[in-house]
Amino acid sequence: MMLDNEPAGENSNVPAPFLEPPVASSKRSKYRNLDWEGNRKRLHQLYPLDSKSLTETMQIMKNEYGFDASLKLGDGRSTCRVPWLIRWSKRVTQGRRVERRQNSLAHTPAGMVVATPGSSLDNQSPTVATSPQNVEDAGSPDVIVLRSNPLPGKKVLPLSWNDQNRQDLAATLEMAQSDYEAGELDQAESAFIEAYEGYEHLLSSTHDETVKVAYRIATFYTHFCDSRMGHCGVAWTKIKSTKWHREEAEEVKAPQRSIWLSGYVWARTTPGICEDVNMNANSSRIDYGLSVARVHVATGEPAVETFLKTIEHLCTRDPRNLAIQGLRARGELLKLYLKQDASDTIIGHGEAFSTASAVFSTFWDQFSWNRKNLKSRDILEAAMELASCALKGGFDNNAKWMFRRIENKATSVLGSDDERTIWTLISIGIVYQNAKWWYDAKPWFEQACAAADAKYGTEDGITESLELALEKRHFSYISDEGRPFKLSLELWFHNLSEQIAPGVIFFRHGMASL
């Protein structure tokens, strides 16, 4: 037996080719034994110093000095085996960079003297740099002396307002809260407003303490002025405007405050809006009443329930012209029940959810459809909002029936491959995605994907988003590139997390071109 480290003998079974040393290829034989070190100075003179290219350098070395090396070998020698060449290239690159910077510096025109304020790192005082002996005489009309304006100092906030400091304002706020709990509404109102204006003056309108006081004022009016709530929306507008649009705050500050405060007085002194709607049951009055009621619904105020039922009853008298308002009234009523705590409330108002499909049919069948009519967009949105509330309330069959009727109407009126129909399907899918399971949302996204593929092709942003949603089992919009209108994605994602029917809110943007 022969060990692995023993040489193979004559009787070895190892094939002969493995016993012979490998033969070098003849392709590289002519490039062997090249004297790189002996030709180093010549290569250095031609390639870096004379700025010859590598091809020119190797050609000159071959023709004049008989140094025949391939371009590949020359490139390898110049970049890998010659450190001095690499260091030289870095120095040249840095020198060119410094030269470009120097050439880009702007020089002061002749006849002008510019004095700039010194920095904290300067050893010389700024007053010395601008002293008469260091600055040329500016009396001549040919010499213009430019001096930078002094930087404004930090704005010092006042320590008191109307002889009240922050502790006094905190005491005023506590007094307002005590009057609020005791039912002294007039005194509480005055104290709340006084505290707000004081905090706004001392801390600015965007300070957290000022915003907190504004929210407490809005809460106060929500509970004790339950029939007129337009002022609360104005207060919210003021808060958002001063928080997110600070550059415009000063321009709109005074008119906003006057509207806000006048809204408080108007809400406290005028008759209830319910009586106003009863006496003038037209679309504009009802729309205004719904906008006011919507603020109450957001806070879960029980007093708005009767008002919404009254609006719905008034709309049933003229379902053809008030179909949109009737659907919105029932939708807001269901939102109110969902806003109020726990499932016991929904069970207690199960009739309102179970009869939602009947209310849907009452107004849906009476509406006069027109492809070019803006009201067609509004009723689709109102119907989807109603169906979304029914779905979240647990009445899946009723919601599915309403969604199917919405989809059929959009297909018949707008067309199966119309962009507005596609966004209708996407919106319904988003509602199911957020309220139920992906299994329930998938058919709507599949139908929308097929329509989008036929309408726009596979490279469109909508089609890509839908295909990715079917793959990842979750829809999120990728891009609005190529759309005839621009979608506000920030607003959509905000509404997606805040609203009960996010698909409906997104659908409003998709219908913008109707």
DSSP per-residue codes, 59-86: HHHHHHH-----HHHHHHHHHTS-HHHH
CB atoms within 10 A of CB 506: 25
Q: Within 13 Å of residue 337, how many CA atoms lie on the same side as its CB?
A: 25
Backbone phi, then psi, for 16, in 5-degree steps?
Answer: -60, -40
What is the reported pTM? Answer: 0.46
Torsion of CA 319, 361, 295, 301, to 10 degrees: 110
Residue pLDDT tens, the chain, 514 long: 444 444 444 444 544 444 444 444 445 555 556 777 777 778 777 776 676 777 788 888 888 888 777 665 555 555 444 555 556 666 766 776 777 677 766 666 777 776 666 554 454 444 444 444 444 444 444 555 555 455 555 555 567 777 788 888 888 888 888 887 777 777 888 888 888 888 888 887 778 788 888 877 777 776 655 434 434 444 444 544 444 444 444 444 444 444 344 344 334 433 456 666 666 667 778 888 888 888 878 878 788 888 899 889 889 988 888 999 999 999 999 999 988 865 556 667 888 999 999 999 999 998 888 888 878 888 999 999 999 999 998 899 999 999 999 999 999 888 888 888 898 999 999 999 988 889 999 999 999 988 888 888 888 888 888 888 898 888 876 544 434 333 333 333 334 334 434 344 334 334 333 3
Instruction: List beta partners, residue 164.
Output: 161
What is the per-residue pLDDT for 89? 63
What is the per-residue pLDDT for 499? 42
d(CA 418, CA 455): 8
Identify the helix (H) or strand (E) that includes residue 299: helix 283-299
Domain residue spans of the chain: 32-90, 166-269, 409-514
d(CA 171, CA 121): 48
d(CA 101, CA 85): 25
- Beta carbons of 440 and 403 less than 8 angstroms apart: no
What is the per-residue pLDDT for 420? 86
| Sequence letter at residue 257 | R
What is the per-residue pLDDT for 361? 93
340: CB partners within 8 A, 6+ apart: 300, 302
| Residue where the block lists tokens 């939102």 | 335
What is the per-residue pLDDT for 276? 64
